[in-house]
Structure 1
Amino acid sequence: MSNPTSTDVVIARASATEPEAIAMIKRHLEQMASQSPEESCHALDGSGLDAANVAFFLLRRDGQAIAMGALKTLSNNACELKSMHTISEARGSGAGRQMLEFLLSLAKDDGATAIYLETGSTADFTPAKQLYESYGFVECPPFEGYAEDPWSFFMRLDLRAVA
């Protein structure tokens, strides 16, 4: 017998061409465009999320996609966290944390030694930065093709130091 108050959470690999993914990616890109100038938006669109070096995932709660995230393979046994997004209606529900934990575990299981990310530098991005810091991410210089940008904040987590 199932608990009527429990929720069924599934995180699975997805294609950016799935209707729920298309809608979530659109929301994410629109939000990023409203918070940063175009030249400082580094979010991947659907074709970028379906690239061979990117693993894209959706988190579904009770069958509805409410969060997404991706890992992009970098050089030197590292990954980049990409397209972390939780729909506004599900913010504060723990979905972003669940996706982050899933992606960190996946990267570590795949033998990655570090995981990087780029996020915004404005106050809008403070909750995201605090989440990443709570997992041990620290500020770092730009990496893999990024340049110094006042709108960007770069972080790194040494996965060898994570239990």
Structure 2
Amino acid sequence: MRITEGTLDHPAVRELIIEHLADMHETSPPESIHALDLAALQTPELTFWSAWLEDSAGIEDMLAGCAALKELDPAHGEIKTMRTARGARGRGVAGTMVQHLVTEATARGYSRLSLETGVEDYFAVARRLYARHGFTVCPPFGDYLPDPNSVFMTRTLG
């Protein structure tokens, strides 16, 4: 798997973000959707990565997933836009991306990495993934307010 920074201009990445937003709108109430669109993913406090796998013939790359890291303050980062492409699910993409974000956040000197996800069954796999990577449920952080449709999780780094 190859992880590449700053690929928001790639058509496959743009399609994956659009798919991600559509799924969020199908599974969560509008007031509880905190997913970022393409414009919001290009702000200076965010770094975006995509993950790529070689196809079965080993000829070209296939988009496997994406994730972003938002700096909330010099000691605290937030995971945003974690998504595995449908054709790449079950290949360890999400776990690799979470580990990449933890490594990057640690290298930046963050002492904490947090995220927001949904309470709906749709998000159960994501909540289990984050728990396996050391994230625990926490109160709202940053600009978030308490929301019965959100689960907030955090992990201490370093």
Which residue of 124, 127, 132 maps to 1:134?
A: 132
Alignment length (residue pairs) = 152
1:102 paired residue number: 100
Cα-to-partner distance string for 1:104-152 (whole Å, 9 max, x where unaligned): 1011011111000000011111111111001110100111111111110
Q: Is the 8 A contact 2:74 2:109 kept in 1?
A: no
* Structure 1 position 76, deviation (Å): 4.7
Q: Matches of 1:96 and 1:148 in 2, distance apart?
A: 26
Q: Matches of 1:30 and 1:151 in 2, distance apart?
A: 17
Determine what percentage of the aligned residue pairs are the same residue.
Answer: 35
* Structure 1 position 48, deviation (Å): 1.0
Task: Provide the TM-score with structure 1 as the length reference.
Answer: 0.90
Q: Matches of 1:122 and 1:40 in 2, distance apart?
A: 11
Task: Provide the TM-score with structure 2 as the length reference.
Answer: 0.93
Question: Are 1:45 and 2:45 matched, yes or no?
Answer: no
Letter of the 1:27 partner, please give it. E
- Structure 2 gaps of 5+ residues are 55-60
Question: Are 1:71 and 2:63 matched, yes or no?
Answer: no
Letter of the 2:19 partner, please give it. R
Which residue of 116, 119, 125 maps to 1:118?
A: 116
* Segment of structure 1 superposing worse, 12-21 or 102-111: 12-21
Letter of the 1:127 partner, please give it. V
Name the SS for the 2:73 alignment partner.
Answer: coil
Name the SS for the 1:33 alignment partner.
Answer: helix
Backbone CA RMSD of aligned residues: 1.0
* Structure 1 position 16, deviation (Å): 2.1
Q: Is the 8 A contact 2:71 2:78 kept in 1?
A: yes
- Structure 1 gaps of 5+ residues are 1-8
Q: Matches of 1:92 and 1:42 in 2, distance apart?
A: 25
Which residue of 42, 45, 49 maps to 1:57?
A: 49
Q: Is the 8 A contact 1:15 1:50 kept in 2?
A: no
